[in-house]
Amino acid sequence: MQVRDLRRDPRAVDCVPLHRPHNRSHTGPAPPRPHGPWRSALVTLHMDAIDLLESQHRQLEKQFSALKKADAVRPEDFKAASDLLVTHITIEEQRFYPAVQAGRTEDILLESLEEHLSLKRVLADMLALASDDPQFGPKLHVLAEQLEHHHKEEEDHLFPKVKKVLDTKAREKLGADMQALADELEHRAPRKLVLDQTETAATLEPKA
């Protein structure tokens, strides 16, 4: 699957400027923290890692389902859904998966990482397309289908095993770590991270 160079395609949903203004940090106080439409999905009263992930699954399914039903996909809605998807994948790959790695979870974790790679490749393709491109709709349907399948796999096969590996207290501590990373990512247009992650699947090594 070929990924277009977003920096050079002015029609791309997520066109990245080649040159950033460089005087931003010298013009006054930092802008207020953005609160995207997906923010509420990341703030949860339950810090249990599994509750946090399941809540994001439902939010992702809701947002991608709305995109599929839209007569015309608004770029800002697609960006918001993409940011949530990449935030979710990132907190799983960098915090959750390494923390729950054990003999009984390893096979499904490795399979999950391959499914993430597939999601990232379709998403990276879509970020390089205009939302009215004829290829955008079919890719959106594939992405939404893959997403639902992946969530079901995690919820039916991985999470029950994780509950045997980590007790409630450990899951709550992990949930807090994952939330902290999600908060950090919120300010970095996380969807753009996939552009450098389409070659190979992530590993289960713990990340700093």
Interaction of residue 93 with Fe ion, rule CB under 5 A:
no
Q: Which stretch binds Fe ion (CB under 5 A): 31-39, 136-144, 148-156, 190-198?
A: 148-156
Closest CA to 207 of 56, 101, 57: 101
Q: Which stretch binds Fe ion (CB under 5 A): 14-22, 77-85, 87-95, 190-198?
A: 87-95
The CA distance from 120 to 132, in Å, is 20
Given 92, 120, 128, 136, the residue binding Fe ion (CB under 5 A)? 92
Give residue 100's identity as a one-letter amino acid code: V
Environment class of residue 53 by beta-carbon count within 10 Å: exposed (0-12), middle (13-18) or buried (19+)?
Answer: buried
User: Whose Cβ is closer to Fe ion: residue 14's or residue 154's?
Assistant: 154
Binding mask 149-188 for Fe ion (x = CB under 5 A): -----x----------------------------------
Contact between 125 and 193 (Cβ < 8 Å) = no
Which positions touch Fe ion (CB under 5 A)?
53, 92, 154
